[in-house]
A and B are shown apart, each in its own frame.
Chain A
Amino acid sequence: MTTRLSRGSALARLAAIGVVLAGIVGLFAYAGGWLSPRLLSPASMIDTFQKVNGLYPGFRRNHAKGVCVTGYFESNGRGVELSRAAVFPARRVPVIGRFALSGGQPYVADAPHTVRSLAILFKLPDGEEWRTAMINIPVFPVSTAQAFHDELLASASDPATGKPDPARMNAFLAGHPETARAMQFIRNHPVSSGFDNSTYNGLNAFLFISARGAVSPVRWSMVPLQPFEPIGTADPGIGDKNYLFDALIASIHRRPLQWRLIVTVGQPGDSTKDARIPWPPDRRQIDVGTLTIDHVESEDTSPARDINFDPLVLPDGMAASDDPLLSARSAAYSQSFTRREGERKEPSAISAAEAGR
């Protein structure tokens, strides 16, 4: 045995151990964000959704009102040039998806200018998956998670008036001039009459990686084969809160609906990290295949209710770009998914009977 430590040096060493432990715990707390509670996190982002929309247990915190679909994607083989992803060789793969309206209120009345979304999960032959969630506006109004969060608060209804406070929105736009431009671009973009004849845009840029390892920046859109019709001038929603969904359901029951998957290839200098900025219209576009939707189902019975359409579930041959919204979407979707999966499920606004009609 070595000689015993003096009382003083034993205490000093005990203190040193304490410092080491406190340091590790401190670093852990820092990494976990507990030392910076004001920093925007996935949890605070979803808290804001709940604050703005109210809490509807069991539902997605955004794009809460929706209906599920299945069908298939037939690739024509032309995508292989850009990406080695298993979705692009000429073949048919099954898909499951969901049409929805943006916003966190699952029982909100359909309205023509509410943003419409289409989320699709491609089931690839060897167990890989490609998930994408697209919307019917031509650019995204914001480029960062913080701006998205601030815009959400700025456009929230004032509890006193029940309407958004224009002063708050103006203040937000004054600080984000590129967002004001994007919103003008969105306003000038014609809106179609329904879900079935909408174009759904991926908006965020991704990277396609070819079999040879060549990397191309891309954006993609689902362009409908159903002819475009503008939204009517009269409000067709009177008496039917679900008129957009009912029209979609009736349309799918009449005949399968189809969209072409159009991949737009960016050129050097095209922004991949700012979803507000459209790429020039002369960029090369490749039609890589056709999506067919032939079955519609209520969320109450479809497994798509319990699928997180995380935009970063990608097959080999596709990767995230430097767009910061992608990681933020992935993180926030995951937070919303984890919360709702543990909650008791309430029936969807679109019942099984309504979807089966």
Chain B
Amino acid sequence: MSTEPRTRFALLSRILHWLMAAMLLTMLFIGVSMVASLGDYHRLIAIHRPLGISILILAAIRLTNRWFTTLPPFPPTMSRWEQLAASSSEKLLYTLMFVLPLVGWGMLSAGHYPIVMFGSMHLPPILPAHPMLYAGLRKAHTILAFLLFATFLAHLSAVLFHTLIVRDRLLDRMALWPVRFRKSERQG
């Protein structure tokens, strides 16, 4: 590849995207496993807390990066409503990347728990201890996590549909791996 086509996301954006994707998927699977597990609960929750805070930090980095980079335009194969759905789901995903860790942090604060990261490192509470507040946030944490999983599935389905059936190389926009561009496309 002699020239980087402008149809791709910036390299940093692509790296952040896949890093976040891996962390969110890991987090969703850890979360859903740990609440059902007696034997591995402790090990899993010990990862869940610091990983959640890492996601919150990474979300802030991504949002900052998002403000300072120009996005590639949507491919012409996407209809108006598809573009609308894509931008709305992107907004929803960004919102959840912030809200889920914050709800988790707030929930532990309201539940009178220390917010242990690792070793003696821990975070301060962000809400006062209160039983009903804890219970509400605990429920919200689950509902929002399912919403995140559903949004991820929709996002994945749309990308796979475009890439495999419409064959408009939508996935290449986010690819970290080398992508071959056809002559006709480079010229077009």
Interface, chain A (partner B; CB < 8 A): 1-2, 5, 10, 13-14, 16-17, 20-21, 24-25, 27-28, 31-33, 40-43, 45, 86, 126-129, 145, 303, 306-308, 310, 312-313, 315-317, 320, 324, 326-328, 330-332, 334, 337-338, 340-342, 345
Instruction: Pick the 5 closest A-B CB pairs, nearest first.
Output: A342-B135, A33-B36, A331-B41, A316-B120, A327-B42
**A306: contacting residue among B131, B139, B161, B165, CB under 8 A:** B131
Residue pair B122, A128 in contact (C-beta under 8 Å): yes
Q: With A33-B36, A41-B37, A41-B38 in contact, do A126 and B114 touch (Cβ < 8 Å)?
A: no
Report the minimum CB–CB distance from B85 to chain A (whole Å): 17
State the CA gap A303–B111 with chains docked (Å). 11
Query: How many residues of chain B have a CB within 8 Å of chain A?
Result: 43
Per DSSP, are chain B's interface residues mostly helix, strand or loop, or mixed? Answer: helix
Residue pair A327, B113 in contact (C-beta under 8 Å): no
Residue pair B160, A20 in contact (C-beta under 8 Å): yes
Residue pair A21, B129 in contact (C-beta under 8 Å): no
State the CA gap A126–B120 with chains docked (Å). 9
Residue pair B153, A341 in contact (C-beta under 8 Å): no
CB-CB < 8 A to B132: which residues of A?
A: 341-342
Which of B14-22, B25-33, B93-101, B171-179 sits within the interface? B25-33
- Tell me, yes or no, whether B119 is within 8 Å of chain A by CB: yes
Q: With A86-B120, A326-B42, A327-B43 in contact, do A13 and B164 touch (Cβ < 8 Å)?
A: yes
Residue pair A341, B134 in contact (C-beta under 8 Å): yes
State the CA gap A86–B114 with chains docked (Å). 15
State the CA gap A151–B164 with chains docked (Å). 55
State the CA gap A324–B41 with chains docked (Å). 10
Residue pair A16, B37 in contact (C-beta under 8 Å): no
**A24: contacting residue among B120, B153, B167, CB under 8 A:** B153
Residue pair B38, A45 in contact (C-beta under 8 Å): yes
Report the minimum CB–CB distance from A151 to chain B (whole Å): 15
Report the minimum CB–CB distance from A206 to chain B (whole Å): 12
User: Could you list 22 A-B pairs, sorted by A, with CB under 8 Å?
Assistant: A17-B164, A17-B165, A41-B36, A41-B38, A45-B38, A128-B116, A128-B122, A303-B129, A306-B130, A307-B112, A308-B111, A316-B120, A332-B38, A334-B41, A337-B111, A338-B134, A341-B111, A341-B135, A341-B138, A342-B132, A342-B135, A345-B131
Interface, chain B (partner A; CB < 8 A): 28-29, 32-43, 45, 111-114, 116, 119-120, 122, 124, 129-132, 134-136, 138-139, 149, 153, 156-157, 160-161, 164-165, 167-168
CB-CB < 8 A to A31: which residues of B?
A: 29, 32-33, 36
- Chain A residue nearest to B45 (CB atoms) is A330
Report the minimum CB–CB distance from A319 to chain B (whole Å): 10
- Can you add 19 more A-B contacts, CB < 8 Å, to A32-B36, A129-B114? A2-B167, A13-B164, A13-B165, A17-B157, A17-B165, A21-B153, A25-B153, A27-B29, A28-B149, A43-B36, A45-B38, A128-B116, A306-B129, A316-B119, A317-B120, A327-B43, A330-B45, A331-B38, A341-B131
Residue pair A306, B112 in contact (C-beta under 8 Å): yes
- Chain A residue nearest to B166 (CB atoms) is A5
Residue pair B131, A21 in contact (C-beta under 8 Å): no
- Chain B residue nearest to A311 (CB atoms) is B42
Residue pair B32, A330 in contact (C-beta under 8 Å): no
Residue pair A313, B113 in contact (C-beta under 8 Å): yes
CB-CB < 8 A to B131: which residues of A?
A: 306, 340-342, 345
Q: With A127-B122, A127-B124, A313-B114 in contact, do A327 and B33 touch (Cβ < 8 Å)?
A: no
Report the minimum CB–CB distance from A98 to chain B (whole Å): 13
- Chain B residue nearest to A2 (CB atoms) is B167
CB-CB < 8 A to A32: which residues of B?
A: 32-33, 35-36
Report the minimum CB–CB distance from B44 to chain A (whole Å): 9
State the CA gap A17–B32 with chains docked (Å). 23
- Chain A residue nearest to B40 (CB atoms) is A327
Report the minimum CB–CB distance from B169 to chain A (whole Å): 9
CB-CB < 8 A to B34: which residues of A?
A: 331
Q: With A338-B138, A341-B131, A341-B135 in contact, do A127 and B39 touch (Cβ < 8 Å)?
A: no
State the CA gap A344–B168 with chains docked (Å). 56
